[in-house]
Amino acid sequence: MEMDEEQIDSYQADILVVDDTPDNLRLLIRILQKNSYKVRPVTNGFSAIDAIQSSAPDLILLDIMMPDFDGYELCKKLKSQPQFMDIPIIFISALEEGIDKAKAFEVGGADYITKPFQVKEVLARVSNQLTVRLLQMQLQQKNQKLTDQNVLLQQEITERRQVEMETRLLLEATQAISKSENFESAIDVILGLICQTIEWNLGEAWIPNSEGVLRCATGRYVSDSSFAQFRKTSWQLTFSPGVGLPGRIWQSQHSEWIEDVSHAPEEVFLRSEIAVNVGLKAAFGVPILAESQVLAILIFYREKVLECQPRLLELVSAVATQLGSLIQRKQAEAALKLQQEQTEKLLLNILPKPIAERLQKEQKLIAEHFDEVTVLFADLVGFTEFSTHKSPTQLVEILNGIFSEFDRLSELHGLEKIKTIGDAYMVVGGLPTPRADHAEAIALLALEMQAAIRRFNIKIGESFELRLGIHSGSVVAGIIGISKFSYDLWGDTVNVASRMESNGLPGKIQVTAPTYERLKEQFVFEERGQIPVKGKGTMLTYWLIEEQTIALL
């Protein structure tokens, strides 16, 4: 439930009291109502479930000993359901009955009260849990707002990247045409430029000849040799006005889209059979016009079935418009240089500033504090010396291969890669979306990264080793940057994790005591002992060895 500050200040907390003893119920109702709480009493677990499902309370006072099933069981049931798991539960127990405090907290209890009731104690514990509950609600609301803002920002970034791609294509197309020697070479360049930018497989141009039919131009783009057979048939065909996809576009002077040429009837697409053989599916075409005259028809194909994309048609039509205008000026050999300069100036006027600068001007500060995350640093031992014997291209290819696999593993475990620095790799679990198993996920990633580097060594015949360090704690995370956005972390947790890596050993995964405590039941460790850590004195650390194996009975 989302509330503003005024609603929060005036909100009357709803408390469900579950106790099978009437005297206890009456006493708790009197205490709580006297302090302006809304109280709903029930006498057993089944009634409690019905009341909670009808309207979730802000707090539950739950007797442990009840006739149907005890309070522990009811608490455990509620905590297993996402819609009720955040409701705080205070257990109630008589002194002579006793209360298993460890079990109470293990099943999800937030606090406990013993009978006979002390009014001040009851009110203090109730007030404390309601305050925590209220703060949680406020934090959830703020987190949701930040999430919504991030979604909007991502949409804006995506849109701006799209605009940048479109503008870049227009600019590059104009520049490529201006450098072309003739019409045919210009067509060849533009087909390749468009196909590579929009990621389509084949592009060809059809040009009207003196006989009043369309013939395929020599210029073309083919992404794969498997489409060569389709391309060969183009040389053998001509299209009259209104016949086939090129002929219809020639006659109408409008763009046209076919979602799947393999299923198009012959009167719509003449080469369906050959398209099926080579795997081509979607197709579209746009005319190149100059003063209502068709100079050429550009046709593009892709090996996927795709619905019509009006924005893509508009983009390619814009390129075709530029192409028609510039080609006409080339053919006329009139004021070519002036027209090129004017076109380039026009494009530069509509070209946006670098994305980083635009976002920096418009973006508000985004920063969040996370109480529970686990940070991993990994360093590729020996890579600096290795780099002295390899070319820059070889180094980049090797690092890209290794870090790409690390990226895949990080994504597989739902972890957030923060950055790479040279041959070092940094990743974190538990943000930007908090998760309870952040330490476990990081530990699994660390073990899989070691396995990955061993596989990579076998593949390329090298002997790289990883030195890894892990620490768990709180951090501040946010977006910073002037020339570009960078999502980064700050805090002692980051520094300690880095120290764990730098003070570790090749082929080893060193973790701190806080991380060890979170993982000692699921993983096998070896105590390293106390080691000196810069800025921290001595610290107890452990080697992470492997995941615990569960014996099958």
Query: What secondary structure does DSSP assign to 339-395, as a single string?
Result: HHHHHHHHHHHHPPPPHHHHHHHHPPPEEEEEEEEEEEEEEEETHHHHHTTS-HHHH
- Which one has a higher pLDDT value, 43 or 165? 43
- Are 101 and 112 within 8 A, CB to CB? yes
| Mean pLDDT lowest among 108-117, 153-162, 323-332, 532-541 | 323-332
* pLDDT tens profile 387-427: 777 788 888 888 888 889 999 999 899 998 888 888 889 99
Q: 373 pLDDT exceeds 80?
A: yes
What pLDDT score was predicted for residue 66?
83
Q: 436 pLDDT exceeds 90?
A: yes
Tokens representing residue 231 in the block: 């391309």
Instruction: Write the secondary structure of 118-135 as one string of H (helix), E (strand) and C (coil).
Output: CHHHHHHHHHHHHHHHHH
* pLDDT tens profile 232-241: 888 888 899 9
- Are 299 and 247 within 8 A, CB to CB? no
Tokens representing residue 180 in the block: 């072309």
- The amino acid at residue 244 is G
Q: 345 pLDDT exceeds 50?
A: no
Q: 348 pLDDT exceeds 70?
A: no
Among candidate residues 374, 494, 533, 529, the one with its CA nearest the CA of residue 446: 374
In whole angstroms, give the CA distance from residue 173 to residue 176: 5
Q: What is the mean pLDDT of residues 544-551?
A: 80
Task: Compute φ and ψ for 109, nearest 5 degrees.
Answer: -65, 145
Quickly state the pLDDT bin for 356 (edges 50, 70, 90). very low
* pLDDT tens profile 74-94: 999 999 999 999 899 999 887
Which of 76-80, 97-101, 217-221: highest mean pLDDT?
A: 76-80
Which of 11-25, 206-220, 437-451: highest mean pLDDT?
A: 437-451
Core vs surface per residue 28-45: b (16+ CB within 10 A) or e: bbebbeeeebebbbbbbb
What pLDDT score was predicted for residue 331?
58
In whole angstroms, give the CA distance from residue 428 to residue 415: 6
Tokens representing residue 334 in the block: 């009139």
What pLDDT score was predicted for residue 517?
93
- Which one has a higher pLDDT value, 174 or 396? 396
Q: What is the mean pLDDT of residues 202-230?
A: 85
* pLDDT tens profile 119-171: 898 899 899 999 888 888 888 888 888 888 888 888 887 778 777 877 787 78
Q: 8 pLDDT exceeds 60?
A: no
* pLDDT tens profile 330-339: 656 533 454 4
What pLDDT score was predicted for residue 551?
45
* pLDDT tens profile 308-325: 999 889 888 888 887 777
- The amino acid at residue 143 is N
Q: 358 pLDDT exceeds 60?
A: no
What pLDDT score was predicted for residue 21?
87
Q: 471 pLDDT exceeds 90?
A: yes
Q: 114 pLDDT exceeds 70?
A: yes
Q: 443 pLDDT exceeds 50?
A: yes
What pLDDT score was predicted for residue 141?
85
Mean pLDDT for the chain overall: 83
Q: Is the Cα dihedral 207, 209, 215, 221 positive or negative?
A: negative
Quickly state the pLDDT bin for 381 (edges 50, 70, 90). confident
- Which one has a higher pLDDT value, 297 or 9? 297
What pLDDT score was predicted for residue 445?
94
Provide the 10 A C-beta neighbour count for residue 151: 10
Quickly state the pLDDT bin for 351 (edges 50, 70, 90). very low
**pLDDT > 90 fraction of the chain, expressed in percent and rounded:** 36
Core vs surface per residue 183-218: b (16+ CB within 10 A) or e: beebbbbbbbbbbebbebbbbbbbbbeeeebbbbbe
Quickly state the pLDDT bin for 485 (edges 50, 70, 90). low
What pLDDT score was predicted for residue 271?
83
In whole angstroms, give the CA distance from residue 295 to residue 37: 81
What pLDDT score was predicted for residue 333?
55
Q: 472 pLDDT exceeds 90?
A: yes
Residues 306/307/311/317 CA torsion (nearest 10 deg): 70
Q: What is the mean pLDDT of residues 366-386?
A: 85
